[in-house]
Structure formats: C-alpha cells, structure tokens
Amino acid sequence: MLGLVALGGCASMAARYDRPVAPVGTTFAEVPGSPAGGTTAAEIGWQQFFPDARLRQLIGLALTNNRDLRVAVLNIEQTRAQFDVRRADRLPTINAGLSGSRQPQGDGDSTTLYSAGILVTAYELDLFGRVRSLADGALARFFASEEARKAVHISLVAAVANTWLALLADDELLRVTEQTLVTREDSYALTRLRFDNGVSSLVDVRQAESLLASARATLAQVLRQRALDENALVVLVGQPLPNGLASERALGPGIVPGFPDLPAGVPSEVLTRRPDVRQAEQQLFASNADIGAARASFFPRITLTGSFGTASNELSGLFRGGSLGWGLAPQLLQPIFDAGRNRANLQLAEVTREVALAQYERAVQVAFREVADALAGRATLGDQARALSAQVSAERDRFNLADLGYRNGVRSYLDVLDAQRSLFAAEQAEVELRAQVAQNLVTLYRVLGGGWNPGEPAQ
C-alpha cells in the first residue's frame, strides 16, 4: 500500500507551461532628460518617495483602514484555505473508528459484530496527476490573490497621493479665486463710483457686475470640488481625516522636486515588477493546471479503502488476544459512458485557458501603455508648466498696466475686463497643470511597480 501511495502523483497530464511572448515593443520611447539608470521605482518604498509627512501619515492610515485592501487580504485567506483543501486530497485520510452491527440469520438468530481500529477512506492513487493538477491550480490562484493584494496596495498608495495633490490644488485655486474676487469687487466699486460721477457708462457697470458674479460662481464651484476631493480622501483613508492634517500650504512648485527621479528601464523589467501582470500570469498557470486535471479524468481512477484493528462478537472481547484484523479494498473506475461530461470539461478548461491567455496579454499591453503615457507626460508637462508660468507673469503685468491706464483715464474699461479674464484663466490653468505634473510623477511611480515594499509586513 505504501508503494502505491508513493506512485501517486508521479505523473501529470498538464501541458508544459511556457511564458507567452509579450505583445509589446522591446523599448519605450526615448524621453529627454530621463535618467538612464539608478534605483528603480519598485526598489523605492513609498515612505521614501513621498516627502510630505502629512501625506505619509494618510497613506499609513489608508493601508490600515481601507476596505478594498481588507477585502484583498481576506481573498488571500480564502484562496489559501482552498489550496489547503486541494493539498490535503493528495494524502490519505485516516480516521479512528468504533462500530457495531447486528445481522439476522435464516434460523431467526442474529450475528453481532463489533470492530475498532484505523480506517483509510477512499484514498485516490494519483497515477495520472488529476489531484496534483487540482492542487497546482489552487496554489497558482493563491499566488494570484497575493499579487492582487499587492496591486490593490500599490493602487491605494497612488490614489491617496493623487487625491491629496488634488486637494492641495483645490486650496491653491481657492486662494487664486478669492484674490480675483477681491480684485473684481474693488473694480466694481470703482466703476460704480465713476458712473455715479458721470465718468463711465452703465455698460461698464454691468460688465464689472458680470465679472464679479462670475468670480463668485467660480468660488462656489471650487469650494464644492474641494469638498468632493476631501470626501474621496476620507473613503480612501477609511476614517475621518485626523485633526491637523488640513493643508497648511497650497500646491506650489516645491512639492514636485521632492519626488525622486525614476528610470523607466526596459519593458521586460517593468512587466516582472507589476503585480497585476504577475497576477494574470498566475491565473494563466492555474488554467493550464485545470487542463491537466480534465485530461486525467479520461483515465482510470484507482481508490483504496483500508482498515486495521480488532473485531469481536462481544464488545468486551474487542481488545483480547487474537482479535486483530485488517482489510484492503482497492477500486478501479474507468469512464465508459458519461454523456460527454469529461470531454465538455476538457473543452471548458481549454477555452478558459485561452481566455486567461488573452487577459494576460491585455494586462501586458495595458501596463506598457500606462508606462508609455506616464513617460510622455514627464517629457512634455514640465515644458508646458514653464510656458504657462511665463504666460501668467505676462498677463499679470498686462492687467496691472491696463488697470493703471483705466484709473488715469487713458485706457478703456474693456481693456481691463479682457486683462482680468485672461489673467484669471491663466492662473487657473497653471494651478491645474502644476497638479498634473505632480500627479503624473505619482502615476509613473505606480505604473513602474512602485508603492510596494518587499519587506513590508502583510496587513
């Protein structure tokens, strides 16, 4: 019996697994100013990447309280239990048993039999690897759930950082809008005074009034957007925001240089660092193992049931000398007719593998595109931000000159209105672009596999 048990699991009907060729290019597009080497994103922990202590505190709270991450952790426990069940199927199940039976005889009497001992119940000799393939598939799904947890972890870190940056941008927009509102209130008061003294027309008053109302509407919009971003941050953190974490400064240029420079590397390195790609590959490996289990179902299934113990016609004689006994009942089952069930299961496993293959290739393509997009943003957003900063400076000078000329009667109020509109629009665009620059760096950190520390303990 021990020899037959040793033979179990020696064979496998699973197809040989070869990692699919990545359906992407071999290099990323060249990005001017991109570092050629150095520490990769996957090697930089989020505590080192983000310079703001308040942001680090929020990320730490999110990693403790976020419900999506908690579900991902529980999914790991679930798949681990499923793997333990499949792994247990590869070993015999041994039970201690005590039984009694009474069987009537033809002469009206009955025979009583008591037994006690060790029972091995229906152990399958895995000669064709069916049970082993099922265990391999469960193990691959367990690994996939671990990679899924890492992917959620990385996405959560980036989401908290990007929402925090959006909140800082809201504060900066709020400051710009309030400043513009004060300027337009002063301009309206001056225009009204000039109208009352017969210097300007009612058209100028209505234009100033319209600009003032527009600024008030923009202020309400910015306040609403800030509330929405703060609510989103609360959900990510998983609890109300701690006191003292309100932004003490708006999104200024100083926050961007705090992020380390990240080398892009080559696509093959990026793909091995991305948990979502590794998750898709583990799912592909699991579906490959399912094919092995489906193929093994076409072959004979051998099970063993055995017992060793004592037996007696009297309960008191169970443990007397001469009562020892044993039994072995092997069973071989060969499928003959199952209405096509095994063939359908094999077809299902093969189609499932093709689906998993397509999902793996799509995960690779999405990862490649995300990195390429983030690199394109790094190459162009900086130049755009510098150009917008120069535009804001020019528009501010233009507004000051127009306002000075209007107050001295050498400029029309139309020049002041046009300068006010252009300056406010340019200041808004600059703040939003500054946030995009910082968020693009966070996104680049995420898509390159950053945000997960290999030595970080599991939650």
Q: pLDDT by residue for the chain (459 residues), tens digit each?
A: 445 444 444 556 776 777 777 777 767 665 555 555 567 787 888 888 888 888 888 998 998 888 888 888 888 888 888 888 888 877 888 888 777 777 777 666 777 777 777 887 777 887 888 888 888 889 999 999 999 899 899 999 999 999 999 998 998 899 999 988 998 898 888 888 888 888 778 888 888 888 899 999 999 999 999 999 999 999 999 888 887 665 455 555 544 546 777 776 666 667 777 899 989 999 999 998 888 888 888 888 888 888 887 877 776 666 776 677 787 888 888 888 888 888 998 888 889 889 999 999 899 888 888 888 888 888 888 888 889 989 999 999 998 898 888 888 777 778 888 888 899 999 999 999 989 998 998 998 888 888 876 555 443
What is d(CA 255, CA 260) in angstroms, rounded to the nearest whole number? Answer: 11
94 vs 202: CA distance, rounded Å: 99
Check: CB of residue 172 under 8 Å from CB of residue 321: no
CA–CA gap between residue 40 and residue 445 (Å, rounded): 9
Please report which helix (H) or strand (E) contains residue 403, including its range. helix 341-407
| Domain, as residue range, for 171 | 38-90+133-303+345-447
Domain-embedded: residue 320: no
pLDDT at 312: 73
Q: Which residues contact 444 (CB under 8 A, 6 or more apart)?
A: 41, 262, 371, 374, 375, 377, 378
Closest among 67, 126, 62 to 92, alpha carbons compared: 126
Backbone angles phi, psi at 331, to 5 degrees: -140, 135
Q: What is the per-residue pLDDT for 161? A: 92
Structural domain includes residue 5: no
In a domain, 6, yes or no: no
Q: What are phi and psi of 23, to 5 degrees?
A: -85, 50
Cβ atoms of residues 147 and 276 within 8 Å:
yes
Side chain identity at residue 382, one-letter code: G
What b/e sequence results for 342-355 when a residue is b if at least 16 CB atoms lie within 10 Å of its CB, and e otherwise? beebbeebbebbee
Q: Is residue 459, in this structure, part of any structural domain at all?
A: no
Structure tokens at 67: 């419900």
Q: Is residue 2 part of a domain?
A: no
Q: What tokens were used for 296?
A: 């093994």
Answer whether residue 324 is part of any domain: no
Nearest of 359, 347, 249 to residue 297 by alpha carbon: 347
Is residue 16 domain-resident?
no
| Alpha carbons 442 and 156: distance in angstroms, whole number | 12
200: phi then psi, degrees, rounded to nearest 5: -120, 170
Report the alpha-carbon distance of residue 67 to residue 69 in Å, rounded. 5
CB atoms within 10 A of CB 157: 25
With contact defined as beta carbons under 8 Å apart, do 344 and 365 qualify?
A: no
Q: What is the pLDDT of residue 5?
A: 47
Q: What CATH number did the domain enclosing 141 receive? A: 1.20.1600.10
326 in a structural domain: no
Strand, coil or helix: 298: coil
Closest to 160 measured CA to CA, from 72, 246, 67, 229: 229
How deeply is 16 buried, as exposed, middle or buried, from its count of CB atoms within 10 A (0-12, 13-18, 19+)? exposed
**What is the separation, in whole angstroms, between the first and last Cα of the chain?**
44
The residues that bridge with 325 in the sheet, in sequence order, are 309
Count of domains for the chain: 1
pLDDT at 307 (0 to 100): 81
366: helix, strand or coil: helix
> Residue 259's closest CA among 448, 389, 32?
448
